[in-house]
A and B are shown apart, each in its own frame.
Chain A
Amino acid sequence: MNDDDVDRLVVDAGERWRAAQRPARSVDPALFMDGRVVADERRRIATPLALAGVIVAIVASFAFGRWSAAGPTVGTGPVATPSVVAPGTSGSLGPSQTSRSAAACDVTRPVPVFVPPKPFLRTPPANYASDWYGSEHLWTMLAYSGEVWQGWVAATPPVLPQKTFWWSADWKPAAEPEPTIIVTGRRLDGPGAFTFGPGTNASADFGTAMLVGIDIPSYGCWELTARYRLATLSYVVAVNR
C-alpha cells in the first residue's frame, strides 16, 4: 500500500461520511440583530412620532416599574437594555386586534419541577409562587399555574416590556457579566416574532440570574425560547390585555 492508496481510502471514507450528513439548519437573519442594527433600522423605518413614543414608553417603564409587572423583580443590579429587536414585527399588531387570543393559551406549567444543583436555591423563594423549570444547563422560574403577563405601556407601537430571568450552571457571572443568551419569541396564535439579547446579570433573593429584557409587541399566546451556549429552553406564556 502506498501513499495514494491511503489517500484513496480516506477520500472514500470522507465522501461516505459527508453523504450521510443531513443538511445544516437554515440561517435565520434574526440571529444577527443587535442594538446598533436596531438603531439603524429605527432611523430608517420609524417616524419621529414613533421614536418619541418609544422614549416615552421607556421612561414610563422605569418610572412605574412596569418592566416587572408580572414577573419577578430585582432590588439591585443592572436592568437589561434590549439590544435586539426584529424590525418590522413590533408594530404590526395592536392590542385590540389580539385580545381574545390569550384566553385559550396553553401556558407552560413548571412540570416536571427542576431542582438545581448546589449552590443554587433548590426552590424559588415562596413569595414568587413558582418553581424552577428546565435543566442544569438552562432553567427559569415559572408560576405554578403558568405565566400570564399584562402591563402594557402606551406607546407607539404599544409594547409589553418584561424581564425574563434565566439560570445556568454553565454561566459564571464574573467571567461573563453579559451572557450570550438570546431570547426569541414566536406568537402561536398569529403572526409575530422578536429576538432579544444578549443578557445582563441581576441579583435578588433568588440568586444571580441572567436577565434579558424583552418587548412583547402584541397580545396573545407566545412561545419564548432562550438559547444559552448549547442549551435551549422554551415555555409558553399568555400575554393579556
Chain B
Amino acid sequence: MTGQDAVAAAPDAPAAFADWVRPQVDRMARLAARLAPDADRDDIVQEALVRAWQKRHQFDPTRGTPGTWLLAITADRARHARRRRRPSPVLGEIPGRVRSADDRVDVEFAIGRLAPRQRLAIDCFYFAGLSVAETAAVMGCSEGTVKSTLSDARLRLRPMLEVTE
C-alpha cells in the first residue's frame, strides 16, 4: 500500500471515521429519501453508516471515492428498507398524483411512470444531486450507461410534460 492509499483508506478510529463520512451524510439522506420515501431516511443512513464501518477495510480508494462507496451502501440499505415495508391498502386515488398546473406535481407524476432504472437514474442525478459517477455506483453500471439511461428517461418524460391546450 502506498502512503497515498493509506491516507485515502477509511479511518480506523471512530471519531476519524465520523469525520470521514460526515461530508457525505446529506447526500446519503437525500438518496435514502428518494429511494425509500415511506421509510425513515435517517434510520437508513444510520444503518448504512454502521454497515460502512463494519466493512471499512473493504473500501478501496483506487476503485472509487468515499462518496460513491457510501452512496452505494445507502442505496442497498434503502432497497432493504423498501422491501421491509408492508404494502398498505390504497383507497382511491392518491392525492397529489394527478396532473395539475403545478409542474412540480407534473414532474413527480411523470417520473413515477418511468421504468424503474430510469426512475432510479433521475432520482439519483436530479433529486439526490449525485454526480454521474456516483449515480453509476448506486446503479451498479458504467457512467456511459447512466448517461444513456438519463437520456432515455428525458425522452420518455418529454411527451408527459408537454402542455396540451
Which residue numbers of A lie inside 8 Å of B, CB to CB?
1-3, 5-7, 9-14, 16-18, 21, 23-25, 27-34, 37, 40, 170, 180, 182, 227, 229-230, 232
Contacts A10-B154, A24-B45; is A37 near B13 (CB within 8 Å)? Answer: yes
B interface majority secondary structure: helix
Chain B proximity of A43: nearest CB distance (Å)? 13
CB pair A24 B42 closer than 8 Å: yes
Residues of B within 8 A of A (CB): 12-15, 17-18, 21-22, 25-26, 28-30, 33, 39-47, 49-50, 53-54, 81, 84, 103-104, 107-108, 111, 122, 126-127, 129, 151, 154-155, 157-158, 161-162
Which chain A residues border B129 with CB–CB below 8 Å?
A: 14, 18
Question: With A13-B104, A34-B53, A182-B50 as given contacts, are A21 and B33 in contact (CB-CB < 8 Å)?
Answer: yes
Q: Name the A residues within 8 Å of B49 (CB-CB).
A: 27, 31-32
Contact B127 A34 (CB under 8 A): no
Q: In this complex, which of A13, A16, A229 has the most chain B Cβ atoms within 10 angstroms of its Cβ?
A: A13
**Are B53 and A25 in touch, CB under 8 angstroms?**
no
Question: A1-B162, A227-B43, A230-B43 provided; 10 other pairs, C-beta below 8 A?
Answer: A10-B122, A12-B103, A13-B103, A14-B126, A17-B127, A18-B127, A24-B28, A24-B29, A25-B29, A37-B13
What would be 27 A-B contacts, judged by CB atoms less than 8 Å apart?
A: A1-B158, A5-B158, A7-B154, A9-B107, A10-B122, A13-B104, A13-B127, A14-B127, A18-B30, A21-B29, A25-B42, A27-B22, A27-B49, A29-B15, A29-B17, A30-B14, A31-B50, A31-B53, A32-B49, A32-B50, A33-B14, A37-B12, A37-B14, A180-B50, A182-B50, A227-B43, A229-B47
